[in-house]
Amino acid sequence: MIEVFVESIRVNMTNYRRVVMLKEKTSPRYLPIWIGHFEADAIAIPMQNVPVQRPLTHDLLKGVIEQLGGKLTQVVINELADETFFAKLIVDANGRHVEVDARPSDAIALAIRAKVPIYVDESVFEQAGLVFENEEAEGEVEAEEATEIDEEKLTVFKQFIETLDIDDLGKGGGTEHKLS
């Protein structure tokens, strides 16, 4: 398992689709995951310490886990199948190890609130991880393969990343998207 953190949530200015960029803690690899508008907000709100009057869904889930005597210990993005990412919540429920299936966006939103680590299975990075040739160059983002991956499937990510603008996070809508 590879520990990652949320490097950013980016917005494509032509279609307002969002992608959460997970960055490996110990190397320059990134894992882009398409997410919807509401999912992006669910991740961004606690990252930016935006106060909310009432608990949002992920706050509610965190509270329910805790009130039932459980503790979220980590989240894992464990699979990429048919261009769809899969994740698990890892919960310690009174000494019992419990794994709960989740969408990656929900798992990430919950991990940020619970301040627990986010891990990605190596096989997921092998399929969809990216390394940028020049991370400092704004506007000239060219991606290269982190490992041997299907270049045709990742073309849509490369095109999207070239058009990103994080300043416009509040526009648009949608649901969690597949890679293609």
User: Does residue 32 form part of some domain?
Assistant: yes
72-125 confidence digits (pLDDT tens)? 999 999 999 998 999 999 999 988 999 999 999 999 999 999 999 999 999 999
Range of the domain at 134: 2-168
Tokens of 65: 């886990």
Separation CA 40–CA 62 (nearest Å): 18
What is the residue whose two structure tokens read 């798992």? 107
CA distances from 173 to 46, 75, 83, 136, 155 (A): 19, 25, 21, 29, 22
Which tokens belong to 17? 């689709």
Q: Could you say which residues of the chain have pLDDT below 50?
A: 136-149, 169-180
Does the residue 177 lie in any domain? no
Q: What is the CATH number of the domain that holds 43?
A: 3.10.690.10
Backbone angles phi, psi at 40, to 5 degrees: -60, -45
pLDDT computed for residue 175 by the predictor? 44
Which pLDDT score is estimated for 163? 63
Q: What is the pLDDT of residue 142?
A: 37
147 phi and psi angles, rounded to 5 deg: -145, -170
pLDDT of residue 164: 63
Total count of domains within the chain? 1
Could you tell me if residue 154 is inside a domain? yes
Q: Does 173 map to a domain?
A: no
- Tell me, what's the pLDDT at 159? 63
Q: What are phi and psi of 85, to 5 degrees?
A: -85, 150
